[in-house]
Chain A
Amino acid sequence: MLTDVSWNLILMQLFFGLALGSVYVLLASGLSIIYGLLDVVNFAHGTFAMLGAYAVFVAVSLSGSFIVGIISAVVIVALLGTAVEILLLKPLYDKDPLLPLLLTFGLSVAIPDLIKVIFGLIGKPVAYPEALSGATTVGPMIFSNYRLFIIILTLVVLISLWLFLKKSDLGMVIRAATRDRLMVQVLGANTSRLWTVGFAIGIGLAALAGAIAVPTMSATADMGVEMTMVAFVVTVVGGLGSLGGAIVGGLLIGVIIAFTSLIAGQYANVTMYFCMAAILLVRPRGLFGESGRE
């Protein structure tokens, strides 16, 4: 029998896992949108999240406001992503499909070192915003306000993303292009610009994930690889190119990591990979993957 104390512990850990998972959801949905539209697996996804984290650090130290920091981080990194798409990825679309992937990999090698040159080797911490620094207590349980903020913000972003994709004209074209790019081209949409918009949205989501994660972990140049890895695992678990898969997969992985670190700390880094292997055995295309798109 579980006592009240352990139930409280489990609830608190669940909350912790959902907050962690929210960051993963943002990361993976960005990856999914980019893959769905451009057919590019962005190996530099975590690198852009890392840039988002550093952008928050810079913006917060300049403006002093956390909200301004997050917004400017997302905008700046999304613009950077736009530039990367237009200058580096566009020339590769008609060639070998592995080339865009390799190019983003090259970026993920070069950019962290550039950040080390600019900001030094030591990580940059960002303090919790004052309004969110406390904790809410429910009975004997303590919930960090900031983690609550992460969950709510993710919810808001996902709902707006969903409304954008379902209700707006541009969103409709994006969904159509994800399904059948040739048809959309034939119907006269400017797909080239569509790819740019899609890439910018995906990168913006990655930057947001990095930006809101900073206060809990501080920005380091090498954090990108881990974030890319998480995004990949979540995407394989949820199904490549599926937004619903990214959400369920992200929350699932977040909660699993939270509970593993509670029970067997040294396995915390490894469980998500076991989880991925298990999913691959049982359901190779992921939880929500479509049969058509492998």
Chain B
Amino acid sequence: MDKAEMLKDVAPVPRATVVWITACILALLPLVISIPLATEILIWGIFGLGFNLLLGYAGVLSFGHAAYFGVGAYGAGLALLYWNTGLWSSLAIAIAAAVLLACLIGALAIRRRGVYFAMISLAFGQMLYFLALSPLKDITRGEDGLTHIPAVRLFSISLARPKSLYYFIFAITVTMLYLTWRILQSPFGKLLHAYRENEERAKACGYNTTLVKFFSLVLSAFYGGLAGALYTFYLGYVPVSTLFWLVSGTIVMMTMLGGKGTLLGPLTGAAVYLFLQNTISIFTPRWELFVGTIFVIIILAFPGGIMGTLRTKYVNYRMARLQQSGGAAAAGAGG
């Protein structure tokens, strides 16, 4: 029995139960940590779920994801401020704007491989930041950001209360987590996997790999726009820093920290990152020094991140067990 076939038996494939267990933990999160921190974890978690589809599954590193997050935040903010749209239409506008932007950037740059795309996406992200900062000042209000955004209402419940907002975002997070799980089980998900493992081979099998990359970029922009809009609801205003490169960097760090290419990696990463940031910034305003250093250590020692390392440990354990109990018995059980 060769190793690959054995791996199929031991490598954990996330089941739907994982989604529901995570949902239970997230539902109880406000009992353990403060509601604002919990809300931010969910928002960044949604953002990370989409980012992970691109980085962890399609293997494309975007360093300009602040663009989608920021455009989502501004989209929702502008819609609420100028047209006084409701909850759902401002969400729709935010997502549509982010997806449209991804189509544009994707059409320009997605053909470029690896490092090139990372550089180009970062540059486009910064372009939007500077556009919002000065030339489009009349619309975006420049450095001040959009302020006095009216609170949104879900039917008759005002989401201005932190707790109601948390559980609204919680519902969306669980939906998106379930959706992500479904996407990964779908033929498209398998294609993503095939692409990451061996692009040439996927191409030779007749799949249009450029299209795969393009779709995962657009898909992750959908998540980014959604997260940006939720961030606007949460803050009640839109700071121009939502477009800054640091947002792109943060989502990269969170995803790597939690483990790219794992279903729960982004949520775990967001939780650990924000918890660290909150704790460290009590003691010093220079938390970036610590977070950056921790990130460097993660890259050097645990490139799989938290969930990736746990998964490898689990797989190794299962392999050892299988080898102990004898190859023949394993082959029989594996069938």
Residues of A that sit less than 8 Å from B by CB: 35, 39, 41, 43, 88, 91-92, 95-99, 101-103, 105-114, 116-117, 225, 229, 232-233, 235-236, 240, 266-267, 269-270, 273-274, 276-277, 280-281, 284, 294
Contacts and interface: CB of A to CB of B under 8 A. Distances in A.
A236 B119 contact: yes
B296 A273 contact: no
A41 B288 contact: no
Contacts of A236: 116, 119-120, 123
B117 to A, nearest CB: 10
29 contacts: A41-B118, A43-B63, A88-B296, A99-B303, A102-B252, A103-B299, A103-B300, A105-B63, A105-B249, A106-B292, A106-B299, A108-B292, A109-B249, A109-B253, A109-B292, A109-B295, A110-B293, A112-B288, A229-B126, A236-B119, A240-B116, A269-B130, A270-B130, A273-B124, A273-B126, A277-B124, A280-B120, A284-B111, A284-B112
B296 A103 contact: yes
Contacts of B290: 110
B308 to A, nearest CB: 11
B123 A267 contact: no
Tier of interface size on chain B: 35 or more
A236 B109 CA distance: 11
B116 A266 contact: no
A117 B113 contact: no
Given A41-B115, A102-B299, A270 B135 contact: yes
A101 B296 CA distance: 11
Interface in B201-250: 245, 249
Greatest chain B CB density within 10 A among A91, A105, A117 is at A105
B291 interface: yes
Given A103-B296, A280-B109, A113 B120 contact: no
A-B complex: 5 closest residue pairs judged by Cβ atoms? A110-B292, A273-B127, A109-B292, A113-B289, A106-B296
B292 A107 contact: yes
Nearest to B298: A106
Contacts of B291: 109-110
B108 interface: yes
Given A107-B292, A273-B124, A117 B303 contact: no
A294 B300 CA distance: 27
B299 A99 contact: yes
B177 interface: no
A152 to B, nearest CB: 30
B122 A229 contact: yes
Nearest to A87: B300
Contacts of B79: none
Nearest to A235: B119
A108 B122 CA distance: 14
B131 interface: yes
Given A116-B286, A277-B108, A110 B296 contact: yes
B256 interface: yes
Interface in B245-280: 245, 249, 252-253, 256
Interface in B184-214: none
Interface string B74-92: 0000000000000000000
Interface in B282-335: 286-293, 295-296, 299-300, 303
Given A225-B245, A232-B123, A280-B108, A113 B288 contact: yes
B12 interface: no
B26 interface: no
Given A107-B296, A110-B288, A273-B123, A98 B61 contact: yes
B114 interface: yes
Contacts of A266: 134-135, 137
Given A108-B292, A113-B288, 8 more contacts: A103-B296, A106-B295, A229-B245, A270-B130, A276-B123, A281-B108, A294-B113, A294-B116
A99 B300 CA distance: 8
B303 A96 contact: yes
A280 B121 CA distance: 12
A133 to B, nearest CB: 32
A161 B267 CA distance: 48
Contacts of A96: 303
Nearest to A117: B286
Contacts of B286: 113-114, 116-117
A110 B289 contact: yes
A97 B293 CA distance: 20
Contacts of A269: 130, 133-134
Nearest to A273: B127
A236 B108 CA distance: 13
A270 B61 contact: no
A114 B131 contact: no
A273 B130 contact: yes
A11 to B, nearest CB: 27
Contacts of A270: 127, 130-131, 134-135
Contacts of A35: 115
A113 B296 CA distance: 14
B119 A232 contact: yes
A107 B114 CA distance: 20
B119 A294 contact: no
A199 to B, nearest CB: 16
A284 B253 CA distance: 29
A93 B173 CA distance: 37
A269 B10 CA distance: 53
B299 A113 contact: no
A168 to B, nearest CB: 28
B300 A92 contact: yes
B120 A102 contact: no
Interface in B143-165: none
Interface in B5-48: none
